[in-house]
Structure 1
Amino acid sequence: MAKTQDIIDGVLVRPLETLATNFLSSRYYNGRRIVDLLGTPEDARRWIEVIHVQLHGPRPFTPTTDELVRLRDIRGVLEASYGRTVDNDFSTGSLNALNDLLAEPMLRPRIDLDRNGVAVAAWTPTPDQVLAEFTATVLVASVDTLTGPRAPLLRKCHAPRCVLYFTQLDSRQHWCSNICGNRARVARAATRANSSE
């Protein structure tokens, strides 16, 4: 079975998940604390670079402080949308925030060839701001995740303090990774031990 996640240069990479789910994973619990890789421009650039290399994500850039606020806002809307998908609790009103984001970029996806003749995703018109390209790419991936064949398989990890969502590729899977599964089993064992005292 493929590895469900890996830490590369301090970045949580989840190769079995969509770009949108990986974007949500820019905030994760590392076993000690919540790590937010959209906290500083340098951390965000490192996250974007690793995702670009490992998952063929959008081209790297260093976001400004205002762009970081924007990225965190987008992540918040996506997290709420993921939660509604998992809970099967969508309403017309709850879709407005996500649809408003989807209306902003005014970019259309297309397929181009890179310098090696490999097909790559591109946008029309070519965005003059990499932030627009980045957000459009993440938002298109979110539509696929929230409405496509993965939507009914989307789950929230049940491990203590974990904030991640995952695609349940196996009916026995209850956690985003083996690490969270182990953490949950240890927590249950500790609860049983404390209640028997």
Structure 2
Amino acid sequence: MTTLAFALAATIKHDGHGGIADLLSTQEEAAAWLIEHDQLIAQVLGADLGRFVLPNRAETLPNLREDLVRIRGAVRALFARAVAPGEPSTADAARLMSLQDALRMVNRAADRLGTTHLEWADEPVKRWAYRTEDPIELLVGAVGRSAIDFLVSPDRARLRACPAARCVKYFLQDDPRQTWCSPACGNRERVNRHYRKRTSG
């Protein structure tokens, strides 16, 4: 299962050379990410507003990258707090914003999506009233709402931080024996352990 917030959190990863790769390092990459995840955006905003957030050239949206990176920081800080058994990635821990700042940012973002209103023409109907028409604010709001929905869902209990050295990925544990985010991380850690045993003995 992938949610919009989870997909955004995954745009930070290990680069394979001991560093961190940011998949949103340019405005063009942010625009490509936005277009690639249009279905997840539509799940939160609805198909009509999802299309509104995605103009023909998403890379022309001002501040797209900066706003995505900011809300990603809040989501990752909340994921770090929520992971079981409670240990964030050591490669990531020093860069996380405070819990209070992350909560404030996610809640403010989600607030941009508005609330339900009652309308009454022939019959009473409930309609979602958005508080903004700015496409970036809608996108950031959708990430905030997605993060809130994920963190209060049963899936939160399956959230893990990969313990592999330098890995900064979060993943949903599908099996109780699953320790790593991917077989590659598991293999790398087994090789590291074997090397440490050989050099310490």
TM-score w.r.t. the length of structure 2 is 0.70
1:106 aligns with 2:112: yes
Point out the structure with the larger helix share: 2
Structure 2 residue identity aligned to 1:170: D
Pick 1 or 2: higher relative contact order, CA cutoff 8 A, min separation 6. Answer: 2
Q: Which runs of 5+ in 1 are unaligned?
A: 1-15, 111-122
Q: Which has the larger radius of gyration?
A: 2
Q: Secondary structure at the match of 2:141?
A: helix
Aligned residue pair count: 167
1:30 corresponds to which of 8, 15, 33: 15
TM-score w.r.t. the length of structure 1 is 0.71
For residues 5-49 of structure 1, give each alpha carbon's deviation from its aligned partner in whole angstroms, at most 9, with x where no partner exists. Answer: xxxxxxxxxxx3322111011111132242212211011111222
**Map of 1:46 onto structure 2:** 32
Asked whether the 8 Å contact 1:17–1:167 carries over to 2, the reply is no
1:184 aligns with 2:184: no
For residues 60-119 of structure 1, give each alpha carbon's deviation from its aligned partner in whole angstroms, at most 9, with x where no partner exists. Answer: 422656442222121111111111112299xxx834532443234431489xxxxxxxxx
For residues 119-166 of structure 1, give each alpha carbon's deviation from its aligned partner in whole angstroms, at most 9, with x where no partner exists. Answer: xxxx64385222122112211111122121011211100112110111
Structure 1 residue identity aligned to 2:14: Y
Pairs within 5 Å for 1:20-169 = 20-32=5-17, 33-52=19-38, 59-60=53-54, 61-62=58-59, 66-86=63-83, 87=86, 94-95=99-100, 97-104=102-109, 105-108=111-114, 124-125=129-130, 127-169=132-174
